Amino acid sequence: MKRKSLVLLFCLILGLTSYAQHRVSGVVYDTTNEPVPGLAVLEKGTSNGVITDIDGRFTINVEGEASVLVFSFVGMETQEITVGSQTQIEVIMRDTFADLDEVVVIGYGVQRRALITGANVNVGGDRIAEQNTATAMEALQGVAPGVSIVRNHGAPGAGTKVTIRGMGTIGNASPLYIVDGIAMSNIDYLNPSDIESIDVLKDAASAAIYGSRAANGVILVTTKKGKPGASTRVTYDAYFGVQNLYKKPSVLNAQEYMYIFDEARINDGADPYNWENRIINGNTYFDQNYPGQAYGQAYGQYVWNRLQNGWAGTDWVDEITKSNAPVQSHSVNITGSSEDITYAMGFSYLEQAGIIGGDITDAGYRRLTARFNSEMVLFKNDQRDIITVGENFTFTNSRNRSVATGDIYWNDLHNAIVTNPMMPAHYDMGALNRLTYGYGPTLEGIDRNQHNPIGTMYDRHNYNWGKGNTYSGAVYAVIEPLADLKYRSSFGLNGWFGHYRSYKSVYERANLDRRSRDNVTQSMNQGTVYTWTNTLTYDTRVENHRFNFLVGSEMVRNVLNTSMEAMKAGTDFGLPQHAYLRNVQSVESVGDISATGADWAAQRGGLMSYMGRVSYNYMERYLFDATIRADGSSNFAKGNQWGYFPSVSGGWIFTDEAFMDNLDWMTFGKLRASWGQNGNQSIPNFIYSSNISYLERGYFFGPDKLVSANTAIPENIPNPDVTWETSEQLNIGLDANFFHNRLGLNLDWYKKTTKDWLVRAPILGTFGASAPYINGGDVENKGFEIMLSWNDRVGEFRYGVTLSGAQNKNKVTRLANAEGLITGETNVLSQGTSYVYRVEVGQPIGYFYGYKTDGIFQNQAEVDQYVTADGTSIVIGSEPDTPRRPGDVRFVDQNGDGIIDEADKVKLGSPHPDFELGMQLNAEFRGFYVNTTLAGKFGMQVMQSYRDFAGSPMQNYPTSVFNRWHGEGTSNRYPRLSALPNANGNYISDIYMYDADYLRINNLTFGYRFDRHLNAVDWMQGASLYVSVNNLYTFTKYDGMDPEVGYAPDNWASGIDLGLYPLPRTVMLGINVTF
């Protein structure tokens, strides 16, 4: 009886449990009535969910009739259905290949994608994160047409150079970055997994609402936030990878080095080098400073013996390169909500070792980021939220220990390429190891000025310590007292603080030079910028007419911007771990300590702005937008402090017209046009005035009476009329979708004119001060952009292809300085050479300038024919008494005067590509997926020099020297060798220039999503595992390490390859888990 009662009780409980749950079955179809397998069906607010089977069917037990089922699938519009009394549900899912109802971010607001009248590009955070790049802007390369992204170089933490629709200024050409409403100088401090979306405002009409800061375009970044009604969601993303040199520069080994230099000597009519004597007996430093020990001879004999035994010498690039340099990234994002609160927080850590110097100086980049935002409804009624408050905050701590990546004097990789291979990397000098630290010392008999690159790198960087910190955030309130009338006030800040410390010992490793005393340097910097923004918006509809009004004000104030640096020689302990300014010998005089500093905020830089916008549409078919912004800037003198920046734009959705009803193949079509003006006030403060310099100068009274005195002089002539750089742009575009949104097309043509660059005015030399700045330069950028996409699904197989391209022509139209041109720095390709690039009317900014060549003289007959029209021999201006000979460069005498000089220089090429290409491919089948992104640039040139032909004749050669002229018919590009500097190498010509077209596979990812296997795992919503390769392969004919060269000493130039830190190939294993 007792057992029967227990069985009855168990059945009753089971029945009650079954009754408490509601069983729902159904089937899911797409719009073509095909079943959708693998679709997620989730009970909202719970972890209860299932996946549809091969026939699109599902069965799920829910809590009751009030339950809501959420149907979601990649590439389809998410649907929510209340269960009610239904036990059978049929669902039709709509593809979102082109979601025209999606809301995208615009200046100080949002707007439906279909109603946009400007040239905007929206990129989702998922597409950014799947690239597995250290920074978000790297992931945009090849994704956003018209947005040119060049990595500064391949070192960790190097950042990018971003230009939108061409170079528009010789000043600061970077776009304006707005992160959650706060202006930032860049977004490298953010982890890509923290980003919800990036919107790029390319045309002036879209960006005009940002006025004087928007001449170079605007990039709006929205970080991840919680969504109302969503349960707590925790996502963990991580990847681990190894990095290796993609393409190694090939240089001569020791045997080849001696052979090539002997050939150069013979070409000069000299005897070959006596290498044995130079190597063994040429190291005089040790014998002179440490007599009787024969340190120098012993060292030289060691090197010579190894060479005699077949030693190939030192491959310095191998020595400074780290194989399988590790990289790892971890991020945790938590989002969720309660009844009136949404929240999101993220924590991330990135650590990337350098492939150059990673084993020598612990070179690499580390970034720790914490982010938090929340929003709370304080007061509401049944119709709307009346008072809402929120905040967002981001903090980043970073450490970047980089190697030298600059010009020929500060470039560790260049140093490794050019250093002779005869020197050993390591050598035990016994008692003198305190000088060399075990590194092979300078082989003085070869070149007194070439030092061990490993020791040089260690001495430059290993005793450098520094960290930087960035913080940004805002608090805001939104009040909606009446329906559709919203007031928003936000107070935000962005700031930074950091410190740096370095130590220099008395002895430099493997360098024969020494300091009299060791020294220590310490520096710090900090700054804060406040932004207070107030906007009032109102939406209203009158029948088929809809209006949106926005008025607002914004105040930006540079409150703190301080830097300080001090250096003192003579530390108390002589140890790097105690190298602080507090541990130095007593200061004996004011000149015994070097200190510099500045408080830029004392100049009280700021911006006061007022803005307005009107958006109108009729039946969501005829669209119109107009904006105006007034900016008052402290960067200009009174009378020129205010600038006004208007814009107008319109659109016509012609597929809503009656005459388009029968065109089933065209889903959506919109024509749009815009015009607007933006400004650029990114100039030094008080440039309209003159700084005062204090100098000690001598004054002559009579022919021989010199009296010294202190004086103050103006550095330049003031000009209170200096005003804004202004960018004006016209844009015409087409957006169209075909075949139920499977095929998408976006076209844009634009003409952008930037006026009133700041240049030096032409003045007489008798003024006694530098010329004033004037608004005297204009440039035009004109081009078109195209984006073509196809997305489709065949059963469970989904795929997509996106192809984008951009063409831009850059031309300077006015330059009102004294010379009519702006020249770059000299000594760029090698010591003693002229400038390589310049700015001139009628040419693109930073075009390459030098001598055209017409091949190499193959024999004496060709030399004899090198004459002017009247038969006069053509001579080199700098070498008029040196006759040309076979193997020399045949320079083109452009003006026919018989002298190769400055008058014969012409345009050689341009670092700006004629066309940029991007491509994204993706496919997914039953959980397996593959994504790839390609980017390419075509029609550009690079100036390359991997050695100094002028000032350092004993530097090593790249193996391309084997293509030199060494007899008739052997080469028509590279001249004969010479041990002495001459015009063949000293003259900047097109023998240094290379075509640099390329197409690169930026990323290739293979992965698998485990979602369909997680039905029984309540605590896990999704998981994926993937393998990814960045910089997989580059299709190019360029023989350098990397055709993407963003370096030049001047920020308005690029394309100078001196041995640029290359982009590594990175292989990664990653995981993504959602709880």
Encode pLDDT of 957-1012 as tens digits: 999 999 999 999 999 999 999 998 999 999 999 999 999 999 999 999 999 999 87
Look at residue 163 in the predicted model and tell me its pLDDT: 95
Pairing of strands 905-909, 915-925: unpaired
Look at residue 1 in the predicted model and tell me its pLDDT: 46
pLDDT tops 60 at residue 603: no
Q: Under DSSP, is residue 7 helix (H, G, I), strand (E, B) or coil?
A: helix
Q: What is the pLDDT of residues 480-525, one digit of tens each?
A: 999 999 999 999 999 999 988 998 888 777 677 777 888 899 999 8
**Which is nearest to 631 in space by CA: 723, 735, 568?**
723
Look at residue 702 in the predicted model and tell me its pLDDT: 61
pLDDT tops 50 at residue 15: no
The model's confidence at residue 820, banded by pLDDT at 50, 70 and 90, is confident
Instruction: Answer for the pair 255, 1040: CB distance below 8 angstroms, yes or no.
Output: no
Look at residue 451 in the predicted model and tell me its pLDDT: 92
In this prediction, residues 418-434 reach a mean pLDDT of 89
Q: How far apart are CA 364 and CA 461, in angstroms?
A: 11
Between 158 and 595, the higher pLDDT residue: 158
Look at residue 863 in the predicted model and tell me its pLDDT: 97
First-to-last alpha carbon distance for the chain, in angstroms, is 47
**Residue 770 structure tokens:** 């530098």
Percent of the chain whose predicted confidence (pLDDT) is above 70 = 94
The region of weakest confidence among 162-171, 551-560, 566-575 is: 566-575
Which bin fits 294, alpha (ψ -120 to 50), beta or left (φ > 0)?
left
The model's confidence at residue 13, banded by pLDDT at 50, 70 and 90, is very low
Instruction: Answer for the pair 653, 624: CB distance below 8 angstroms, yes or no.
Output: no
Look at residue 844 in the predicted model and tell me its pLDDT: 97
**Residue 553 structure tokens:** 């004000």
Q: Which amino acid is at 977?
A: L
**Which is nearest to 424 in space by CA: 404, 454, 400?**
454
Instruction: Answer for the pair 496, 470: CB distance below 8 angstroms, yes or no.
Output: yes
DSSP string, 357-401: STTTS--EEEEEEEEEEEEEEEEE-SS-EEEEEEEEEEEEEEEEE
In this prediction, residues 199-218 reach a mean pLDDT of 94
In this prediction, residues 762-782 reach a mean pLDDT of 78
Over 109-162, what HEC string results? EEEEHHHCCCCEEEEEHHHHHCCCCCCHHHHCCCCCCCEEEEECCCCCCCCEEE
Q: How far apart are CA 970 and CA 993, in angstroms?
A: 20
Q: Which helix (H) or strand (E) holds 997?
A: none
Look at residue 507 in the predicted model and tell me its pLDDT: 79
Angle CA 287–289–295, to nearest 5: 35
**Residue 57 structure tokens:** 């069917």
pLDDT tops 90 at residue 549: yes
Q: How far apart are CA 439 and CA 423, in angstroms?
A: 10
pLDDT tops 70 at residue 764: no
Give the other-Cβ count within 10 Å of 662's Cβ.
6
Look at residue 4 in the predicted model and tell me its pLDDT: 45
Residue where the block lists tokens 């040790």: 286
Q: How far apart are CA 268 and CA 800, in angstroms?
A: 62
To the nearest 10°, the Cα dihedral for 42, 45, 48, 52?
A: 0
Q: Work out the mean pLDDT of the chain and round it to a whole number.
A: 90
To the nearest 10°, the Cα dihedral for 981, 986, 990, 993?
A: 90
Look at residue 701 in the predicted model and tell me its pLDDT: 61
Q: What is the pLDDT of residues 289-329, one digit of tens each?
A: 888 888 899 999 999 999 999 999 999 999 999 999 999 99
The model's confidence at residue 908, banded by pLDDT at 50, 70 and 90, is very high
In this prediction, residues 221-234 reach a mean pLDDT of 90
Q: Which amino acid is at 487?
A: Y
Pairing of strands 905-909, 22-30: unpaired
C-alpha of 1075 from chain center: 33
pLDDT tops 60 at residue 11: no
Q: How far apart are CA 464 and CA 458, in angstroms?
A: 10
In this prediction, residues 528-557 reach a mean pLDDT of 95
**Which is nearest to 965 in space by CA: 265, 267, 250, 255?**
267
Q: Which helix (H) or strand (E) holds 591?
A: none
Q: How far apart are CA 316 and CA 955, in angstroms?
A: 13
In this prediction, residues 141-168 reach a mean pLDDT of 93
Residue where the block lists tokens 């650590």: 351
Instruction: Answer for the pair 317, 249: CB distance below 8 angstroms, yes or no.
Output: yes
The region of weakest confidence among 193-202, 427-436, 902-911, 940-949 is: 427-436
Q: Which amino acid is at 844?
A: P
**Which is nearest to 625 in space by CA: 99, 105, 106?**
106
Q: Which domains, ranges and CATH numbers included, belong to the chain? A: 19-93 (2.60.40.4130)
Q: How far apart are CA 147 and CA 783, in angstroms?
A: 12
Q: How many CA atoms lie within 13 A of 59 on its CB side?
A: 2
Look at residue 704 in the predicted model and tell me its pLDDT: 66
Which contacts of 575-582 are long-range, i.e. CB under 8 A and separated by 24 or more positions? 576/463, 576/503, 576/505, 579/463, 579/501, 579/502, 579/503, 579/518, 579/520, 580/501, 580/520, 580/522, 581/520, 581/522
Instruction: Answer for the pair 858, 890: CB distance below 8 angstroms, yes or no.
Output: no
Q: What is the pLDDT of residues 109-128, one digit of tens each?
A: 999 999 999 999 999 998 99
pTM: 0.89
Percent of the chain whose predicted confidence (pLDDT) is above 90 = 66
Angle CA 663–665–670, to nearest 5: 75
pLDDT tops 70 at residue 20: no
Which residues have C-beta within 8 Å of that of residue 34, sequence separation ≥ 6? 795
In this prediction, residues 650-673 reach a mean pLDDT of 93
Burial class (CB in 10 A: 0-12, 13-18, 19+), 1020: middle
Which contacts of 971-978 are long-range, i.e. CB under 8 A and separated by 24 or more positions? 971/856, 972/855, 972/856, 972/858, 973/855, 973/856, 974/856, 975/856, 975/887, 975/888, 975/889, 976/267, 976/856, 976/885, 976/886, 976/887, 976/888, 977/260, 977/263, 977/264, 977/267, 978/264, 978/267, 978/268
Look at residue 2 in the predicted model and tell me its pLDDT: 47
* Distinct helix (H) and strand (E) counts, the chain: 14, 52
Residue where the block lists tokens 């990546």: 405
Burial class (CB in 10 A: 0-12, 13-18, 19+), 846: buried
Look at residue 789 in the predicted model and tell me its pLDDT: 96
In this prediction, residues 343-363 reach a mean pLDDT of 94
**Which is nearest to 408 in space by CA: 825, 828, 824?**
828
